[in-house]
Amino acid sequence: MNETSSEAKRATVGPPSVLAYLDPNYWNDRFTSEDHYEWLKDYSHFRHLIQQHITPTSSVLELGCGNSQLCDELYKEGITNLTCIDLSSVAVLKMQARLLSKGYKDIKVLEGDMLNLSFADESFDVVIEKGTMDVLFVDSGDPWNPRPEAVKRAMAMLQGVHRVLKPHGIFISIAFGQPHFRRPLFSSPEFTWSIEYATFGDGFHYFFYILRKGQKSSSSDAADVKKVETPSLRLYQDELEDEDYLFRTNIDEMGDDR
């Protein structure tokens, strides 16, 4: 995308600077007037991937629920032991009200920071996030060599997720972030999880990472990762929602050109 069209899009969608995505006030303001925005894709697009990993007896933690309907969809599948957190108090209040109005009163919605999870060790069978980890990279600079602050945030998140997962728990990360950028973080030696991913989406690829705690094998090395060719993001400018396009561009488009 050339500079002019990028700036034009930025002026009409999303915040004036992508740094706003790191600011809780931005999300509070946004959720005050917005009732539903589904980042990446809705549940129907990755249901087939999730179903292999979550059962009605699973205890599930969703990070950064926003005003997504992912937890509604999981609930409809019979998964009732669900806890959602978000940094935004407005998102939490609105989500609580929406779920109560639907009669989904078992779902817990709490204000919380995924960089400092308040849950006890080994509390959940599954931790899931969609588009929330991506937020941590909006100011990461060169994705091949992300700024230390972005790496620090991402590692704080992953350490918390690893800690609150049960011994054979699963972390599901549904993301724009590409495997060659996520892999160095996921595969830090302190983590015992195995790493796999699938993709979904018709033209543009979204990534569905599955990290299984306690399942790391000696072969879970970089060389073992299935390589997915992701054509330049420019091809998909018209396919992505305007704001998703801007968000995705800032996360790791620089990587597409190498």
**Other Cβ atoms within 10 Å of 42 Cβ, number:** 15
Nearest distance, CB of residue 31 and ligand SAM, angstroms = 7
Which residues contact residue 33 at a Cβ distance below 8 angstroms, ignoring those fewer than 6 apart?
Answer: none
- Which residue's CB is nearer to ligand SAM, number 129 or number 220? 129
Tokens, residue 157: 């998140």
CA angle 202, 205, 209 (to 5 degrees): 125
Smallest distance, ligand SAM to C-beta of residue 197, A: 17
If the CB atoms of residues 114 and 161 are measured against ligand SAM, the closer one turns out to be 114
Q: Interface residues for ligand SAM in 18-37 (CB under 6 A)?
A: 27
Q: How many residues does the chain have?
A: 258
Binds ligand SAM (CB under 6 A): choice among 1, 115, 138, 254: 115
Each residue 120-159 as x (binds ligand SAM by CB under 6 A) or -, in order, gives: ----------xxx--x------------------------
10 Å CB burial of residue 62 (0-12, 13-18, 19+) is buried
- Is 35 in contact with 67 (CB distance < 8 Å)? yes
Closest contact distance (angstroms) between CB of 231 and ligand SAM is 23
One residue of 114, 170, 211, 246 binding ligand SAM per CB under 6 A: 114
DSSP state letter for 165: E
Tell me how many degrees the CA angle 209-185-46 measures, rounded to the nearest 5.
15
- Residues engaged in binding ligand SAM (CB under 6 A): 27, 38-39, 63-66, 68, 85-88, 91, 113-115, 130-132, 135
